[in-house]
Structure 1
């Protein structure tokens, strides 16, 4: 049964792997002679056995005329195997050096003689080949010259004084002589056999095997003559490799009869074969001339004869070489030109993008199939048309400027919009390269990549990033960006504008009683009504939940915004009819004015929020302007006064909210949350007192107290066997302090706390404020093992492109996004985009505000690393965290 190509390939891989294994064995066991010789001898023996099996299989498959050839080769590999067995017997059984010459040498000689007999049998089995005599003649010259020099320089000097040769020397000399005969026969096959001899691959691998054996014998002879040979030498695998190559001929002999059966020698080899006999005769004449002159001098007749023969040989060689050189150059240039043309044609025609060329006037001179299909023209119709026909007026001038640079030798890349024959628009990324002939630009080559889908995708992502997925109005990020732009514009034009902060009264009860679907539809209806009462120059945005903000431009007097606020109240107080339900949801509205109340976007937003909160505390369902002189500010001033004594009176305390690993559910960390137990007001929300602390500078001592308390708690948990990372919030005011890094690192040392268990959370606004001051401090914290995370990611000001420049390790997805996960694919797309962004930047991701199993499962599917929220636990005391860990020991990391 004929073996398949797969078997041939696998056999060759086995051959190469076997020899590599042999060398690995030698390297690994080079210091243990016993194991080295046992393994080496075993590998050589099995090489001979496998080669013999391959050759006997080839004999079984071959035609009767070739069976003797394969049998003789198999006898040769068998002789090698016997020699290796005897060698192993001496070394591994008798534990003695192998005698030289000895029985192994006898079988090594037989191996070469069997190989030689196989080749002679094959060569002379085709006596009718007319070229055989020429090859025999040429190679006989080579053999005579080689034997002559061998005798003169090697054999004769080794003769003893009585003319005899030592047995060891004789055996040593026999190896290269037999190898020379083998190579002589192999060369005859390699260059001269006709197609009915053997498969060309058989001849090739057999020639390689004999060549490798000759090289190994030559090195072996050198080692024997110059030093002591021992098993495990680097040439041992070469002998096994030569036997393997001969045996591999039996594998490749079964290829399809239609395959080429002879290797076609290249022109250089053929020329060398013809020239070699002449050169060798010339060398022999020269050697004889020099030798005779040294021994007895030369007669004029001898000199003349030698010179005439010499010149005749030289002339013949020159003519032959020159003729072949001219033919070779012609063929080489023709093939090279044809190959170059085919490569260019394939690269141009089959390029998946639009490839084309234009002349210096901008007219098409060529185009591939992709280009003609895109533009809607056949190739012959496209040739001669101007590239500018497919561009709009705006891009035409810009592209012309790029082409001017290309004509100056500068490649260009740019994006443009084009239209095809039917008017369909495409976004293209064009690369232009000058076509240079004889140092002169004669045209322009172009490749156009269709990026239409990519452009649409980017626009969609941009829209999702800047718009609320539920209502379609602007989100917090876009709103704050537009407020910043409005501030710049208002300062330049000395204009006024208002920020309107709106919250729906009793919205939570709508969700609780009628469900989130009704609540979502209510928000959609509210956003529609707000858009109806605003102008094109105004902006409606959803901040999250039931909170909306409006940017109202073009305010000339306060009465303008009063009328606008009253219009909003009148519009929103009308009942909503949703799915059979009549819903009333009045708005509480707070208003701040630029430039009277503040000149920063953050300040205007906070003050509008403060005014809105005051409305909620005083009746709801109406609007109020921010006014520092009113009761709300008095309350804030009282909090400010009491906050100064809160630390002294031990009124501040920390709660801890668990953070769990998404996959395992293990508690891997907690977030430290500051609370204030006011003696009169009770528990005061951080939303109320943290802004006061930042404005008054009290955040500095309070922040340090929080950090010290967190360090104490980490140490206690560590002593109890719990390894929990604690996240601590840093405010921008803290990071503005020059001494914060040194002070906090000192606290870590004093409390003996591992910095790897500390995580600092900062907001996006904190990151971008005074970047030059903030980033080095954060980097120093990170270098000392402290983790940095961005809190409420997606709700701040930072551009995604600048995120990579901050030394952060974690992104914390804002609860505004987590709460919307179950309300549509658009919300999930935003969260997925944030997670993928983090993964690409090699950042961890934690989602806060996870309140139910559905949200948790969605986040798991999105490969969010960690989660935090009421589903896993509300903010509790350190003792309650310890109880959770004791109840569920598997939940601690």
Structure 2
């Protein structure tokens, strides 16, 4: 077992006289003998006690560390084993044990060389010897520490005595009743009273307050408190001989006689009026410094940090200790920029201040912008002593500026330059082109049928498609070229330096090739085409506005011709002017009652009777005559005029439907096409008001919608269709199968009729695919209890096929083209009797 060296060091060496003699010798050597610890003598005592011819003793340092010297030689391994185990370590011819007291290592002891070896009893004797020696070493160590403390205290008392001998401040001694017994020169200078005037008087004559209650309170403070505690320090107001009142710092000590009983008071007074004023000022400054929302750094004349405030630590992440005496990190970049460093030094030398924007680095490595004010401070002799730097993190302000810049000059969706930035870049490029006699080009890129995609899939997928278009355009161009988005599906590509006119056409073709790769929208593969018009500068325009207008004109010409990239020509302006005239005339067409409705019969195959009529608009222009829908409906869609035109069509169809009902054709259904742009709040109300105005039943009105409207799948669209259904209005899904057809539409929306598009009807019965599709649509509609109408029926073969397939109704030139009201009336009379 390990000896219990932490609790006792009494001798346990067997109880014989020799053992106690050894214990006494150890105590004498360690506790009573002055000077260094006699290591050799202690080592010899231990060898003698253990009857061992060999032995060694090593003492630890005051902190418990012990490194064995090279001279430890053959003892080293055994001693290290004893230190690790914390108890007696053995080998046949030697013993070793650590000397520990309360887990603190005081030394290592070993003995050996005994011929017959060591018995178990000797092992225990050796452990007890080590415990005794450890206890004695600890006692000697504690004694040495007390001696050192005493020496330091004596030196301090001597030092204080010398200071008191030369002190110039006020020192006053009093008896226990408060009568002055001593009055030094410092007290004479402070109060203005000589020692003869002050000694013998009560200390109360120096008090600044005359009130008896206050005097009693101070009297208690002076006497009762000090008789209890022996010393007190406080701040009081005192009055000089001149009557001036001042603040004094008082330190009172209780003096005692030889018997230890209180004998008097010693008062030490210092005028602290100016000090308190300075301290108050410093406290105010410190509070301002510490609670300032801006970071503050104070440096020495060498620009080494002396102190920082809390805002600095919050902003940078550094503590004051981490940056003290280092160069402020925000000044580091100035060393790499000689011009900036020189600017700062010149400003500080001339005016003592500089301010501007710099970059700083946080503790985590992030860099951020700061607005810095640097000022120099000189001492009373006019010598530069300090700098102070005040800075604030302007990251949010810079980010706000960047955000404002992005909003002002970049498209929010694609991140491309917007119209404003494009115009600025173009104007600069035109100036340089004129100066350097170079050429450039502007390509106006407009996506074809993007509105259909937007209507079919909704805004979010369409926006994703626009971002992908922007990415492909950027990848197609050189780094010096610019691609911008004007809005919607319109993009501008600016080539600021081309050597040949044909290069612009090559870039246009590369753009078309890039866009020809399929796009993925909600697991659908979408093919996208574009129309590109090209204007070359300076030939086609010497300002940005003209260039874009001419490129736009060329782009619209491409849409009309369905060709590739097309360069602008003067002839295109004439066509653009015609288009503008057409738009102006279209806006007035409703007011001037220039529109007419034609009606195409819908015939029931089972009976051959006319059961419905699709209302189709025609424009009778006063100068150009009859303008077909294909010439003005796209323009009406683009300009938004389709909303007012659609309202006119609905009104005219319901008015005519009522007339036919009054003529006896009560089961005749009037079909009206709805544009996607008409699907806006108020449409269902418009339909209901129109039906009421003309007393036309909802059951006789059929609204034809496209699949694109349904793909929005919004609550507003669903509610609108439900409103129509509640009013009895029939809903027909037009051009079924040509778009992104989904059976979910037929299940979710209240559809009554399906219309097979003419593109499928035209191929039957000879085209196997068209025939199969038509049969499938008819079969599916029957299973869903929907009525099927086939459009574009022109031959008897098509009619026979559709009748055999189970189609319900047809419309097409085989029976009749769209005809005016009068002709349709004749068809009714002749066909329905």
TM exceeding 0.5: no
* Greater helix fraction, Structure 1 or Structure 2: 1
* Greater strand fraction, Structure 1 or Structure 2: 2
Q: TM-score range by the shorter chain?
A: 0.3 to 0.5
TM-score normalised to structure 2 length: 0.38
TM-score normalised to structure 1 length: 0.36
> Per chain length, whose mean CA-contact separation is higher, i.e. which structure has more relative contact order (CA < 8 Å, sep 6+)?
1
